[in-house]
Amino acid sequence: MNRPVPPAPSDAATRLARRAEALDAADPLRGVRDRFVLDEAVYLDGNSLGALPRSVPDRVAEVVAEEWGRLRIRSWTESGWDSAPERIGDRLAPLLGAAPGQVVVGDSTSVNLFKLLVGAVRLAGDGRDEILLDADTFPTDRYVAESAARMTGRRLRALPPAGIAAEAGARTAVALVNHVDYRSGELRDLPALTAALHEAGALALWDLCHSAGALPVELDRHAVDLAVGCGYKYLNGGPGAPAFAYVRAAHLPRFDSPLPGWWGHRDPFAMSADYAPHAGARRLRVGTPDILSMLALEAALDAFDGVELAAVRAKSLALTDFFLECVGELVPEGAAEPLTPAEHARRGSQVSLRCPDAAGLLGRLVARGVVADHRPPDVLRFGFAPLYTGFAEAARAAATLGELLGASRRGPAGNGGR
């Protein structure tokens, strides 16, 4: 069966492609793309799995051959494996607006959520018997919060994020909120909500999975109490990269982890029968760190060297603005409705479009070299990683989407095939 011939680019598509060229030429982060392994595909899924930084493969090969292969057990001390979680946490800290000594890398986001949520309830004390939860949260956060509430005997209340400030009160121990909504791409007002929680005497636990590495976070400046986030999205640490946990320095001495493993002990190799937490952020650790993944993440962070987060944010907003404009011009009216707020202050680094048959459409996009993703039931997500995504890619993605949706409008014969 013949595939339908794609329609010739419209005048609008040609004009937008020219604008994209000019925007790419003027992009101050343009050269940073060369720090990544990419190909002709338009890769707009860095919010799910960041692209591979060129700094990673040789470093991983060296760790395997030299540090593991030759030095073996000596590497725990001689190659710095022992302190890698804190060292890489401190390397990451500037991207989170955190001073050193508060961030540890390791475990998954889900595990860190558990540690920090139960730890927050313990910090808040017995008088506070409820946990507030972002009702739109990524599911793992909800599953963990339900179990943490059950274990600690707290009541869990899921609320729309915009309603959390008003509902926080004398009974609230902690609120767990996603900084950027994974489905809609909406950015929440971290400074205002953190301040409102503090006003109520409650703690703020932020999930930064979709903001770390994509926009400035400023944890210290806004006195955020606790935060977690993911290493494999905008931080490009690789599949299953360790996550991170942040606990504000002022809370660390009292932070009582519900998973007090031996690596969080003050002196792990004393092999003491009694648990005594390390004085610093090291108490957030549990068991033996996953060194290979961790050192891959460390090497991946080289991609951020010399990059200002303000420039990352400016480019992210310009890219998502431009993509929304292209969608507005090239996609038939009503075929794909933006779910992502138009307002810059409420936008993360992705654009979500609501389209019927998002799953089928995604397959046709991928077949045409535009890699995005889909969240049920009807959301297409386009992630813009400012370190390596260009304006021409935004234009090409929108033009491809416009062709596919225009074709399907014209009737079942034009369904693009797969």
Ligand X SMILES: *Cc1c(COP(=O)(O)O)cnc(C)c1O
The least CB distance from residue 210 to ligand X, in Å, is: 5
Specify whether 255 is catalytic: no
Of the candidates 36, 114, 138, 388, the residue annotated as catalytic is: 138
The annotation status of 138 as a binding-site residue, yes or no, is: yes
Q: Is the dihedral of CA 254, 255, 258, 259 positive or negative?
A: negative
DSSP state letters, 30-92: GGGGGGEE--SSEE--TTTSPPEETTHHHHHHHIIIIIIIISGGGHHHHTS-TTHHHHHHHHH
Closest CA to 203 of 112, 105, 117, 96: 117
- The residue among 76 and 143 lying less far from ligand X, judged by its C-beta, is 143
Q: Is 97 left (phi over 0), alpha (psi -120 to 50) or beta?
A: left
Specify whether 24 is catalytic: no
- The residue among 140 and 415 lying less far from ligand X, judged by its C-beta, is 140
Sequence-distant (6+) residues with CB within 8 A of 92 are 103, 105, 212, 235, 244, 301
Q: Which of 98, 215, 230, 361 binds ligand X (CB under 6 A)?
A: 230
Q: How far apart are CA 56 and CA 64, in angstroms?
A: 12
Binders of ligand X among residues 96 to 155 (CB under 6 A) are 108-110, 138, 140-141
Specify whether 315 is catalytic: no
Of the candidates 114, 232, 255, 304, the residue annotated as catalytic is: 232
The least CB distance from residue 109 to ligand X, in Å, is: 3
The least CB distance from residue 27 to ligand X, in Å, is: 27
Specify whether 233 is catalytic: yes
The least CB distance from residue 402 to ligand X, in Å, is: 28
- Under the criterion CB under 6 A, does residue 373 sit at the interface with ligand X? no
Sequence-distant (6+) residues with CB within 8 A of 386 are 29, 214, 311, 312, 313, 315, 316, 319, 349
Instruction: Write each residue from 178 to 217 as x if it is in contact with ligand X (CB under 6 A), else as -, in one continuous string.
Output: x---x------------------------x-xx-------
Instruction: Return the percent helix, strand and coil in the chain, to nearest 5.
Output: 45, 15, 40
The least CB distance from residue 349 to ligand X, in Å, is: 12
Q: Helices 309-330 and 11-25 meet at what angle, rounded to 10?
A: 170
The least CB distance from residue 242 to ligand X, in Å, is: 9
User: For ligand X, how many residues bind (rule: CB under 6 A)?
Assistant: 13
- The residue among 23 and 243 lying less far from ligand X, judged by its C-beta, is 243
The annotation status of 76 as a binding-site residue, yes or no, is: no
The annotation status of 232 as a binding-site residue, yes or no, is: yes
- The residue among 79 and 140 lying less far from ligand X, judged by its C-beta, is 140
- The residue among 27 and 107 lying less far from ligand X, judged by its C-beta, is 107
The annotation status of 152 as a binding-site residue, yes or no, is: no
| CA 4 to each of CA 306, 415, 416: distance values in angstroms, whole numbers, following the listed order | 46, 8, 6
Closest CA to 134 of 190, 74, 76, 71: 190
Q: Are 213 and 236 in contact (CB under 8 A)?
A: yes
Q: How far apart are CA 85 and CA 293, in angstroms?
A: 11
User: In the numeric block, which tokens belong to residue 159?
Assistant: 């609320």
Residue position matching structure tokens 């710095």: 80
The annotation status of 109 as a binding-site residue, yes or no, is: yes
Q: How far apart are CA 327 and CA 73, in angstroms?
A: 55
Specify whether 381 is catalytic: yes
- The residue among 240 and 377 lying less far from ligand X, judged by its C-beta, is 240
The annotation status of 140 as a binding-site residue, yes or no, is: yes
For ligand X, the binding residues (CB under 6 A) are 108-110, 138, 140-141, 178, 182, 207, 209-210, 230, 243
Binding-site positions for pyridoxal 5'-phosphate read: 109-110, 138-141, 207, 210, 232, 262, 288
Binding-site positions read: 109-110, 138-141, 207, 210, 232, 262, 288
* Active site positions, annotated: 138, 207, 232-233, 381
